[in-house]
């Protein structure tokens, strides 16, 4: 199933109701782009770590069966028995599945190959698209000390990404500063618009993040110019450069602020975390694309 095949929820169908106050305690940010290799996982792991460093308690949820956010957080994905699968399918509380991350402020709900099987279950269940939302709402109701939930999506617009976008309050879109960077963007924005219209009207755009920027390449500069021209203030000021240190960090199971605290990558993700923290108090984010996509 993909977004285009998603049926609107019938009005008569009962959805779980949780109190609004409980939902508003944390910000739920979905890192999404159906393209692979654009920096979603790198962004999700490092953003959670940098928010933690800023004293914001963060839960990172790995929604990709590849489990890269799990291993990149130092968790051995093949040896874990319980994953986000158990939250989606067995309705186990996220609180019981989360593992300590790199600091006292960061926790991770892990994933591994088991999650591949969830897609089929979720597609068969009329409430399937809402399973993660229900789990996150239940978590936040009992864990009001958390400030952020960061969700790392797989590289597709399938049921796991749909669940993530329905659970989210905002979507953060990493864009690789390369040729074809904007290819597929219209599909992604259209899909988010469909999900907003049918399931989650409050979902807003957190921003576009330029990743793997290489200042020596005119192509990188060109992509940045085009993106800022097209999306203006919705593009983060922080730009993540291409950096070997950033690509090495996951193999050590560490976020960049622990692997090489002074590197450009560490500074970029710290700067991104600070921009997000400013969003907490600045004018509220919007969805700037209307319903016309
Ligand atoms: P996605 O989750 O979108 O598939 P990843 O975050 O896994 O993308 O990144 C893809 C690959 O590129 C990984 O090997 C990662 O370590 C590497 N990578 C990500 N960001 C950077 C960067 N800024 N500089 C260099 N390598 C990067
Ligand atoms: Mg990934």
- DSSP tag of 284: P
Q: Flag whether pLDDT at 280 surpasses 90.
A: no
Q: Flag whether pLDDT at 161 surpasses 60.
A: yes
Query: According to the model, what pLDDT value does residue 244 have?
Result: 97
Ligand 1 shell residues, CB under 6 Å? 36-42, 68, 155, 211-212, 240, 242-243, 246-247, 250
Residue range 101-136, pLDDT digits in tens: 878 899 999 999 999 999 999 999 999 999 999 999
Residue range 8-28, pLDDT digits in tens: 444 334 444 444 444 447 999
Going by alpha carbons, the residue nearest to atom 10 of ligand 1 is 37
Q: Flag whether pLDDT at 138 surpasses 60.
A: yes
Q: Which ligand is nearest to the CA of 210?
A: 1
Output the DSSP codes for 197-252: HHT-TT-EEEEEEEEEE-TT-HHHHHHHHHHHHHHGGGEEEEEEEP-HHHHHGGGG
For ligand 2, the distance from its centroid to the CA atom of residue 248, given in whole angstroms, is 15
Q: Predicted confidence band at 1 (pLDDT cuts at 50, 70, 90)?
A: low
Q: Which ligand is nearest to the CA of 178?
A: 1
Residue range 238-268, pLDDT digits in tens: 999 999 999 999 999 999 999 999 999 999 9
Q: Predicted confidence band at 142 (pLDDT cuts at 50, 70, 90)?
A: very high
E strand intervals along the chain: 27-31, 58-62, 99-100, 106-109, 148-152, 170-176, 204-213, 235-241
For ligand 1, the distance from its centroid to the CA atom of residue 259, given in whole angstroms, is 15
Question: Ligand 1 atom closest to Cα of 35?
Answer: 3
Query: Nearest-CA neighbor of 154 among 65, 250, 59, 251?
Result: 65
For ligand 1, the distance from its centroid to the CA atom of residue 37, given in whole angstroms, is 6
Question: Ligand 1 atom closest to Cα of 152?
Answer: 2
- Counting beta carbons within 10 angstroms of the beta carbon of residue 251, is it exposed (0 to 12), middle (13 to 18) or buried (19 or more)? exposed
Tokens of 29: 């940010």
Average pLDDT (273-289) is 89
Query: According to the model, what pLDDT value does residue 84 have?
Result: 98
Tokens of 246: 């950033």
């Amino acid at each position: 199933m993909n977004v285009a095949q998603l049926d609107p929820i019938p009005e008569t169908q009962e959805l779980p109701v949780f109190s609004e106050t409980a939902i508003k305690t944390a910000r739920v940010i979905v890192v999404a782009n159906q393209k692979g290799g654009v920096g979603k996982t790198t962004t999700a792991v490092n953003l959670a770590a940098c928010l933690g460093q800023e004293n914001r308690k963060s839960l990172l949820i790995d929604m990709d069966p590849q489990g890269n956010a799990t291993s990149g957080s130092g968790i051995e994905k093949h040896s874990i028995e319980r994953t986000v699968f158990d939250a989606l399918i067995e309705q186990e509380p996220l609180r019981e599945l989360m593992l300590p991350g790199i600091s006292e402020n960061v926790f991770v709900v892990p994933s591994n190959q088991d999650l591949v099987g969830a897609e089929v279950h979720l597609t068969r269940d009329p409430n399937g698209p809402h399973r993660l939302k229900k789990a996150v709402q239940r978590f936040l109701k009992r864990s009001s000390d958390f400030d952020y939930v960061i969700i790392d999506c797989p590289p597709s617009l399938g049921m796991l990404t749909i669940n993530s976008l329905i659970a989210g309050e905002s979507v953060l879109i990493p864009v690789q500063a390369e040729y074809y960077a904007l290819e597929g963007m219209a599909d992604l924005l259209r899909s988010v618009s469909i999900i907003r219209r049918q399931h989650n009207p409050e979902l807003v755009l957190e921003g576009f993040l330029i990743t793997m920027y290489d200042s020596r390449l005119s192509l990188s500069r060109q992509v940045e110019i085009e993106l800022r021209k097209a999306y203006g203030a919705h593009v983060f000021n922080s730009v993540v450069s291409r950096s070997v240190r950033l690509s090495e960090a996951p193999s050590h199971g560490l976020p960049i602020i622990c692997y090489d605290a002074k590197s450009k990558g560490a500074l970029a993700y710290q700067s991104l975390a600070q921009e997000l923290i400013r969003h907490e108090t600045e004018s509220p984010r919007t969805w700037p694309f209307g319903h016309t996509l």
